[in-house]
Amino acid sequence: MSTEWRCGQLTLQSGPGAPASARAAVARWLGPSVPADTLDDVRLVVSELVTNSCLHVRAPVDRTVRLTAGFVAGQIRLEVRDEGRHGAVLRRTPEGVGGFGLNLVAAIAERWGVDHADGTLVWCELPAARAA
Protein backbone atom coordinates (compact mmCIF):
# COMPACT_ATOMS: atom_id res chain seq x y z
CA MET A 1 0.00 0.00 0.00
CA SER A 2 1.35 3.44 -0.82
CA THR A 3 2.13 6.00 1.86
CA GLU A 4 -0.38 8.54 0.50
CA TRP A 5 -3.25 6.93 2.33
CA ARG A 6 -1.88 7.43 5.85
CA CYS A 7 -3.14 10.23 8.02
CA GLY A 8 -1.61 8.95 11.24
CA GLN A 9 0.78 6.39 12.65
CA LEU A 10 1.64 5.72 16.28
CA THR A 11 3.75 3.17 18.13
CA LEU A 12 2.33 2.24 21.54
CA GLN A 13 3.73 0.23 24.42
CA SER A 14 1.67 -2.92 24.70
CA GLY A 15 -0.33 -2.80 27.92
CA PRO A 16 -3.56 -1.73 29.57
CA GLY A 17 -3.32 1.90 28.42
CA ALA A 18 -2.74 1.12 24.75
CA PRO A 19 -6.42 0.83 23.66
CA ALA A 20 -7.33 4.21 25.17
CA SER A 21 -4.30 5.83 23.53
CA ALA A 22 -5.28 4.26 20.20
CA ARG A 23 -8.86 5.55 20.49
CA ALA A 24 -7.62 9.06 21.26
CA ALA A 25 -5.21 8.97 18.31
CA VAL A 26 -7.81 7.94 15.72
CA ALA A 27 -10.19 10.58 17.09
CA ARG A 28 -7.50 13.25 16.51
CA TRP A 29 -6.57 11.95 13.06
CA LEU A 30 -10.01 11.17 11.66
CA GLY A 31 -12.46 13.15 13.80
CA PRO A 32 -12.55 16.29 11.66
CA SER A 33 -13.14 14.25 8.47
CA VAL A 34 -15.85 11.72 9.36
CA PRO A 35 -19.34 11.80 10.91
CA ALA A 36 -19.58 11.18 14.65
CA ASP A 37 -21.27 7.76 14.26
CA THR A 38 -18.52 6.62 11.88
CA LEU A 39 -15.88 7.81 14.34
CA ASP A 40 -17.63 5.80 17.08
CA ASP A 41 -17.32 2.67 14.92
CA VAL A 42 -13.66 3.40 14.18
CA ARG A 43 -12.87 3.90 17.87
CA LEU A 44 -14.59 0.62 18.80
CA VAL A 45 -12.82 -1.36 16.08
CA VAL A 46 -9.38 0.08 16.84
CA SER A 47 -9.90 -0.57 20.55
CA GLU A 48 -10.72 -4.23 19.87
CA LEU A 49 -7.74 -4.71 17.53
CA VAL A 50 -5.25 -3.08 19.89
CA THR A 51 -6.65 -4.99 22.88
CA ASN A 52 -6.27 -8.29 21.00
CA SER A 53 -2.73 -7.39 20.09
CA CYS A 54 -1.84 -6.57 23.69
CA LEU A 55 -3.47 -9.72 25.05
CA HIS A 56 -2.32 -12.31 22.57
CA VAL A 57 1.14 -11.37 21.33
CA ARG A 58 3.93 -13.66 22.47
CA ALA A 59 6.94 -11.44 21.91
CA PRO A 60 9.96 -10.19 23.88
CA VAL A 61 9.46 -8.04 26.97
CA ASP A 62 9.71 -4.74 25.05
CA ARG A 63 6.44 -5.22 23.17
CA THR A 64 5.00 -2.51 21.00
CA VAL A 65 1.91 -2.15 18.87
CA ARG A 66 1.91 0.05 15.76
CA LEU A 67 -1.35 1.69 14.75
CA THR A 68 -1.82 3.19 11.29
CA ALA A 69 -4.99 4.87 10.04
CA GLY A 70 -5.98 6.69 6.90
CA PHE A 71 -8.26 6.91 3.90
CA VAL A 72 -8.12 4.83 0.73
CA ALA A 73 -10.75 4.64 -2.03
CA GLY A 74 -13.57 6.07 0.12
CA GLN A 75 -12.73 3.77 3.02
CA ILE A 76 -11.08 4.23 6.38
CA ARG A 77 -8.24 1.74 6.68
CA LEU A 78 -6.94 0.73 10.09
CA GLU A 79 -3.86 -1.42 10.65
CA VAL A 80 -2.57 -2.82 13.93
CA ARG A 81 0.82 -4.53 13.84
CA ASP A 82 2.71 -6.31 16.61
CA GLU A 83 5.79 -8.50 16.91
CA GLY A 84 3.82 -11.72 17.35
CA ARG A 85 4.70 -14.52 14.96
CA HIS A 86 2.84 -17.44 16.47
CA GLY A 87 -0.79 -18.32 16.77
CA ALA A 88 -3.78 -17.81 14.55
CA VAL A 89 -5.90 -14.68 14.43
CA LEU A 90 -9.39 -16.14 14.40
CA ARG A 91 -12.91 -15.16 15.32
CA ARG A 92 -14.13 -17.28 18.20
CA THR A 93 -17.36 -17.88 19.99
CA PRO A 94 -17.97 -15.18 22.61
CA GLU A 95 -17.59 -16.52 26.14
CA GLY A 96 -19.33 -14.19 28.59
CA VAL A 97 -16.23 -12.11 29.37
CA GLY A 98 -14.32 -12.32 26.10
CA GLY A 99 -14.17 -13.41 22.51
CA PHE A 100 -16.20 -10.53 21.08
CA GLY A 101 -13.35 -8.54 19.48
CA LEU A 102 -12.99 -9.96 15.98
CA ASN A 103 -16.72 -10.65 15.82
CA LEU A 104 -17.31 -6.91 16.34
CA VAL A 105 -14.66 -6.07 13.76
CA ALA A 106 -16.28 -8.44 11.24
CA ALA A 107 -19.73 -6.96 11.93
CA ILE A 108 -18.64 -3.33 11.56
CA ALA A 109 -15.91 -3.46 8.91
CA GLU A 110 -16.60 -4.09 5.25
CA ARG A 111 -13.39 -6.13 4.99
CA TRP A 112 -10.68 -7.29 7.33
CA GLY A 113 -7.73 -9.61 7.19
CA VAL A 114 -4.42 -10.75 8.61
CA ASP A 115 -0.86 -10.67 7.27
CA HIS A 116 2.01 -12.53 8.96
CA ALA A 117 4.82 -11.30 6.69
CA ASP A 118 6.49 -9.22 9.43
CA GLY A 119 4.99 -10.05 12.82
CA THR A 120 1.20 -9.92 12.80
CA LEU A 121 -0.75 -7.24 10.99
CA VAL A 122 -4.54 -7.14 11.36
CA TRP A 123 -6.23 -4.64 9.09
CA CYS A 124 -9.78 -3.58 8.35
CA GLU A 125 -11.65 -1.15 6.14
CA LEU A 126 -14.82 0.73 7.05
CA PRO A 127 -16.88 3.10 4.93
CA ALA A 128 -15.76 6.70 5.51
CA ALA A 129 -19.44 7.58 5.98
CA ARG A 130 -22.27 5.24 6.89
CA ALA A 131 -25.15 4.75 4.51
CA ALA A 132 -28.37 6.27 5.82
Interior/surface letters 61-77, b for 16+ CB within 10 angstroms, e for the rest: eebbbbbbbbbeeebbb
Q: Say which DSSP state 47 is in.
A: H
Residue 48 falls inside a structural domain: yes
Compute, in degrees rounded to 10, the torsion defined by CA atoms 67, 49, 40, 13. Answer: -50
- Quick one: how far is CA 50 from the chain centroid? 6
For residue 3, the model assigns a pLDDT of 40
Residue 118 lies inside a defined structural domain of this protein: yes
Residue 132 lies in a domain: no
pLDDT on residue 69: 95
Instruction: Tell me whether residue 64 is in a domain.
Output: yes
Pairwise CA distance, residues 88 & 107, whole Å? 19
Assigned domain for 108 exists: yes
pLDDT in tens, the chain (132 residues): 444 567 899 999 988 999 999 999 999 999 888 999 999 999 999 999 999 888 877 655 568 999 999 998 889 999 999 887 666 665 566 666 666 778 889 999 999 998 888 888 999 999 987 654
Instruction: Evaluate whether residue 89 is within a structural domain.
Output: yes
Identify the domain containing residue 20 by its residue range. Answer: 3-127
- The enclosing domain of 37 has a CATH number of 3.30.565.10
Tally the domains of the chain. 1
pTM, 2 dp: 0.84
Which pLDDT score is estimated for 2? 42
